[in-house]
């Protein structure tokens, strides 16, 4: 018992940490040592009893942590040490037995460890089972060796011919290139049958992996052989062409095209088509027309941004900041764009909606698209469609035609150099068809997010994916857009700018832009706020700001001239000297009634350039009941005048109006600025109020404007253009606006300055309008007396008629 105890007592030995190597007992091993500690440990062992504890570390660092050292290793005997140039020591050692690390005694100048023997615990196993296990290991080893190159035949035969399970395990475990952790598992396993079972599983897996690896290598070798064969054949063709005295420049050119095609890693269909064209080029004369056509075709196809994308920088805060920086207002438009970008962020591969920015000229449709591209980090391509009549402008020409070229979509992608640019199709409402085809029909596929992933240009004749591109279109008039094309787009309306919006755009954008453009500093030219309002009111009349920018540019030019002449060191533009710079006013103020007058009402109208005050005048004269409407009124406004007369007849008694006015009075309704055509139903309340005022003699408030459509029963119906109309009333200094109750929700779109400074009166019936607009309530007493007198007179006349006469009548 004492001998067994002494045999298992711990030993103090030098310890050598191995990287990427596990040593097994009864195995001779060779390895190199370069670390200083390892060299000192080997030297100490060689000078002592030649024993050293070899164990592996789980990482590859020079200074490893104790928890990275495996606890089970091998006590080995150092057989030979050989120092080589470069500080590397070559070691030959023999593993003696397994040992377990008890603890590390010291780590300087080398590792010294306390270890004790770790004997094998072999369980009893049926010899037949062991024999079957050994056979299985040999079979898997054969399969492994079939895929292992340069395996020595003698080594294979020594294992296959051996019947000793221990020898078979040791030889295979040492030679197999297994990971350190798996070899360590084999070392630590107790029982030969367990070790063989683990080795069998590892052999099986390695044989399978190596089989797959061999298949991959065979396929790769086959591809390389084919490419080499193709290379040799092409070189032979070059030599043959030189021997025949033919020009081999076309051959070289064709091979260059093939190299470029292969580098692009295109889909098989596209690669095959382009390769065929390159082969055709190789077989044609360099000076032929066909070679010229093929060259142009290949150059165009290879310039396309196949598999080239820009990375989207989708940050909603930055996008919003960019839109706010470049454009004032447009809250609804910006919100819709941010929603589209948010969806792009959550579903990058999804097909997006095509957006159409619709509105009058000069409101910023094109610049909005440019801001979106800038904020997303995408390439920007603008394609102007104004005046396009030929379908080939969109889809390109067949390459067989002389001077054939791709369409504008493909050309835009080539210029962008990216497959996912932002493409702006400008003025999509200006395209029209003729005998050459209809461009609108060609755009149906381009602007269909479900179909444009395989867009085929007539010139390219290959499918190109447009689904990653972001399309935005612009239009001034939706009525001219083909209905199927319009159905593919989501319409976002950009309304005309109000007076306040124009003011802010001038102050925040246009002045600084034009100063920079004309080489002026902000200190050299000052434009007063009142002068800006004067510019807006009397020198421009537009929906956008283009003319306004031209007027500011004119001021900059005149200021630059004065500064260069030395007349002034700085220029200040005010209301008093604006006319000196720009001449007399181009537009007069709206005709507005600021005093309480009979038969004159301030109506509100919407025009393409914004809202205006449209006063209506009514004059009542003795006559035969004729109604005259003048002022270039359209059919709808004329019908509104008839509705107004009919309604006033129905409420004549309430407002002290003679019930026979429609027979005894002539009525003339006029809208000033007679040369300007006017139409629409929203003047119904204005006409009715003016009629009641003129017929009753009650003045209408001069500080009130109104708008709304009426029905025969006196209901007030909602109207459009409330934002622009209310701004017109605010600009003219009116205090209140009467609007239909149905437009209450549209107040969200009204400028804050207007809402803060004006009273809004909501009318459900025309009586609400009259109560708010008339300066006093009607006196109906005279009418009641007249009606009573008329009834009494009729009764007296009735009594004068004989009884028999009354019966006959």
pLDDT digits (tens, 9 = 90+) for 291-350: 888 888 888 888 889 888 888 888 888 888 888 888 887 788 888 888 888 888 887 776
* Mean local confidence (pLDDT), 493-522: 87
CA atoms 112, 116, 117, 119: torsion sign: negative
pTM of the shown model? 0.58
Alpha-carbon gap, residue 352 to 370, rounded angstroms: 18
pLDDT for the residue 249: 64
pLDDT digits (tens, 9 = 90+) for 479-502: 888 888 888 888 888 877 878 888
Third-level CATH fold of 600-778: Ribosomal Protein S5; domain 2 (3.30.230)
* Mean local confidence (pLDDT), 506-526: 90
pLDDT for the residue 246: 53
CA-CA distances (angstroms) from residue 583 to 421, 512, 555?
46, 23, 11
Q: Could you state, in order of their start, the residue ranges of all structural domains in the chain?
A: 2-117, 137-208, 247-303, 316-493, 499-582, 600-778
Third-level CATH fold of 316-493: Rossmann fold (3.40.50)
Percentages of the chain per state (helix, strand, coil), in multiples of 5: 50, 20, 30
Residue 389 above 90 pLDDT?
Answer: no
- Note the CATH number of domain 2-117: 2.30.130.40
Q: Name which of 565, 567, 613 is nearest 588 in CA terms.
A: 613
Residue 121 above 80 pLDDT?
Answer: no
Residue 793 above 60 pLDDT?
Answer: no
pLDDT digits (tens, 9 = 90+) for 164-212: 788 788 777 777 778 888 888 888 888 777 888 888 888 788 777 777 7
Instruction: Place 786 in a pLDDT band, splitting at 50, 70 and 90.
Output: very low
User: For residue 272, what are its two tokens?
Assistant: 């095959």
* Mean local confidence (pLDDT), 669-676: 79
Alpha-carbon gap, residue 310 to 420, rounded angstroms: 7
pLDDT digits (tens, 9 = 90+) for 363-381: 888 888 888 888 888 889 9
User: For residue 624, what are its two tokens?
Assistant: 């035969």
Cβ 531 vs Cβ 581: under 8 Å: no
Secondary structure element (H or E) that encloses residue 792, with its range? helix 781-800
User: For residue 702, what are its two tokens?
Assistant: 């001069």
Residue 552 above 50 pLDDT?
Answer: yes
Q: Which residues pair with 423 in a beta bridge?
A: 381, 471
Q: Among this protein's residues, is 271 annotated catalytic? A: no
- Note the CATH number of domain 499-582: 1.10.8.60
Residue 2 above 60 pLDDT?
Answer: no
Across all residues in the chain, what is the average pLDDT?
Answer: 82
Residue 744 above 70 pLDDT?
Answer: yes
How many of the other CB atoms lie within 10 Å of CB of 804? Answer: 8
pLDDT digits (tens, 9 = 90+) for 105-120: 888 888 888 998 888 7
Residue 607 above 70 pLDDT?
Answer: yes
Task: Give yes or no on whether 137-208 and 316-493 have one common fold.
Answer: no
- Rounded to 10 degrees, the C-alpha dihedral 752/753/755/759 comes to 180
pLDDT digits (tens, 9 = 90+) for 88-104: 888 899 888 889 888 88
632 phi-psi bin (left φ>0, alpha ψ -120 to 50, beta other): left
Residue 784 above 70 pLDDT?
Answer: no
* Mean local confidence (pLDDT), 781-798: 44
Cβ 655 vs Cβ 776: under 8 Å: no
Instruction: Place 133 in a pLDDT band, splitting at 50, 70 and 90.
Output: confident
Pick the CATH number of 137-208 from 1.10.357, 1.20.58, 2.60.40, 3.40.50: 1.20.58
- Which of the two residues, 214 and 659, has the higher pLDDT score? 659
Instruction: Place 765 in a pLDDT band, splitting at 50, 70 and 90.
Output: very high
- Which of the two residues, 789 and 212, has the higher pLDDT score? 212
pLDDT for the residue 764: 93
What share of the chain in percent tops pLDDT 90?
A: 10
Q: Among this protein's residues, is 777 annotated catalytic? A: no
pLDDT digits (tens, 9 = 90+) for 215-253: 777 777 776 677 677 667 666 666 666 665 555 566 677
Residue 699 above 60 pLDDT?
Answer: yes
Cβ 591 vs Cβ 615: under 8 Å: yes
pLDDT for the residue 690: 92
Instruction: Place 674 in a pLDDT band, splitting at 50, 70 and 90.
Output: low
pLDDT for the residue 553: 92
Choosing from 392, 440, 467, 682, which is the catalytic residue? 682
Cis amide linkage into residue 109, ω under 30° from 0: yes
pLDDT for the residue 682: 84
């Amino acid at each position: 018992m004492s001998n067994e105890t002494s045999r298992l007592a711990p030993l103090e030995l030098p310890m050598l940490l191995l990287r990427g190597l596990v040593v097994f007992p009864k195995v001779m091993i060779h390895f190199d040592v370069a670390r200083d500690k390892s060299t000192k440990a080997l030297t100490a062992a060689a000078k002592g009893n030649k024993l050293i504890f070899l164990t592996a570390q789980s990482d590859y660092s020079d200074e490893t942590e104790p928890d990275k050292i495996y606890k089970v290793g091998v006590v080995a005997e150092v057989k030979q040490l050989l120092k080589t140039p470069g500080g590397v020591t070559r070691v030959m050692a023999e593993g003696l037995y397994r040992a377990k690390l008890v603890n590390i005694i010291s780590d300087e100048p080398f590792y010294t460890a306390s270890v004790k023997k770790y004997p094998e615990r072999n369980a009893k196993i049926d010899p037949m089972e062991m024999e079957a296990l050994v056979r299985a290991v040999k079979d898997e080893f054969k399969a492994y060796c079939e895929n292992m190159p340069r395996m020595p035949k003698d080594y294979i035969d020594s294992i296959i011919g051996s019947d000793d399970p221990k020898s078979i395990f040791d030889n295979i475990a040492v030679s197999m290139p297994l990971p350190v952790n798996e070899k360590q598992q084999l070392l630590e396993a107790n029982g030969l049958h367990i070790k063989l079972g683990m080795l069998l599983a590892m052999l099986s897996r390695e044989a399978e992996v190596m089989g797959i690896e061999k298949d991959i290598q065979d396929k790769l070798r086959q591809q390389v052989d084919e490419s080499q064969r193709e290379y040799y054949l092409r070189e032979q063709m070059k030599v043959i062409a030189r021997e025949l005295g033919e020009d081999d420049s076309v051959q070289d050119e064709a091979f260059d095209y093939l190299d470029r095609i292969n580098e692009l890693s295109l889909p098989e269909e596209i690669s095959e088509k382009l390769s065929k064209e390159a082969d055709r080029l190789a077989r044609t004369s360099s000076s032929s027309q066909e070679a010229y056509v093929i060259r142009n075709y290949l150059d165009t196809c290879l310039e396309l941004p196949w598999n080239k994308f820009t990375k989207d920088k989708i940050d909603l805060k930055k996008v919003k900041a960019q839109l706010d920086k470049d454009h004032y207002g447009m809250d609804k438009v910006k919100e819709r764009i941010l929603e589209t970008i948010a969806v792009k962020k959550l579903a990058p591969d999804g097909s997006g909606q095509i957006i159409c920015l619709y509105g009058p000229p000069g409101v910023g449709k094109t610049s909005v698209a440019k801001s979106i591209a800038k904020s997303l980090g995408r390439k920007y391509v603008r394609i102007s469609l104004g005046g396009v009549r030929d379908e080939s402008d969109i889809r390109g020409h067949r390459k067989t035609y002389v001077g054939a070229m791709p369409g504008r979509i493909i050309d835009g992608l080539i210029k962008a150099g990216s497959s996912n640019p932002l493409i702006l199709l400008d003025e999509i409402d200006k395209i029209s068809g003729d005998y050459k085809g209809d461009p609108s029909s060609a755009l149906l596929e381009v602007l269909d997010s479900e179909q444009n992933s395989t867009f085929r240009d007539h010139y390219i004749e290959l499918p190109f994916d447009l689904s990653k591109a972001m399309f935005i279109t612009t239009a001034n008039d939706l009525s001219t857009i083909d209905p199927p094309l319009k159905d593919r787009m989501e319409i976002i309306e950009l309304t005309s700018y109000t007076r306040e919006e124009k003011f802010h755009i001038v102050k925040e954008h246009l002045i600084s832009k034009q100063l920079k453009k004309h080489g002026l500093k902000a200190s050299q030219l000052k434009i007063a706020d009142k002068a800006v309002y004067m510019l807006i009111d009397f020198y421009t009349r537009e929906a956008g700001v283009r003319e306004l920018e031209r007027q500011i540019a004119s001021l900059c030019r005149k200021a630059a001239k004065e500064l260069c002449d030395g007349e002034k060191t700085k220029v200040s533009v005010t209301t008093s000297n604006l006319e000196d710079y720009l001449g007399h006013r181009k537009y007069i103020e709206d005709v507005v009634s600021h005093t309480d007058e009979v038969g004159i009402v301030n109506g509100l109208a919407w025009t393409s350039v914004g809202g205006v005050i449209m006063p209506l005048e009514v004059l009542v004269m003795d006559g035969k009941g004729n109604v005259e409407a003048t002022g270039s009124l359209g059919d709808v406004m004329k019908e509104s005048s008839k509705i107004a007369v009919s309604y006033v007849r129905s409420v004549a008694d309430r407002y002290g109006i003679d019930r026979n006015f429609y027979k005894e009075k002539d009525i003339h309704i006029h809208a000033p600025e007679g040369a300007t055509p006017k139409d629409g139903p929203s003047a119904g309340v204005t006409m009715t109020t003016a009629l009641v005022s003129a017929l009753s003699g009650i003045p209408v408030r001069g500080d009130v404007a109104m708008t709304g459509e009426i029905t025969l029963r006196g209901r007030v119906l909602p109207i459009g253009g409330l934002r622009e109309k209310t701004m017109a009333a605010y600009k003219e200094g009116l205090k209140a606006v009467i609007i239909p109750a149905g437009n209450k929700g549209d107040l969200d779109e009204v400028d804050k300055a207007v809402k803060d400074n004006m009273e809004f009166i909501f009318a459900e019936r025309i009586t609400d309008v009259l109560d708010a607009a008339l300066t006093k309530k009607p006196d109906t007493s005279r009418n009641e007396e007249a009606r009573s007198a008329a009834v009494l007179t009729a009764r007296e006349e009735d009594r004068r008629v004989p009884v028999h006469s009354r019966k006959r009548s």
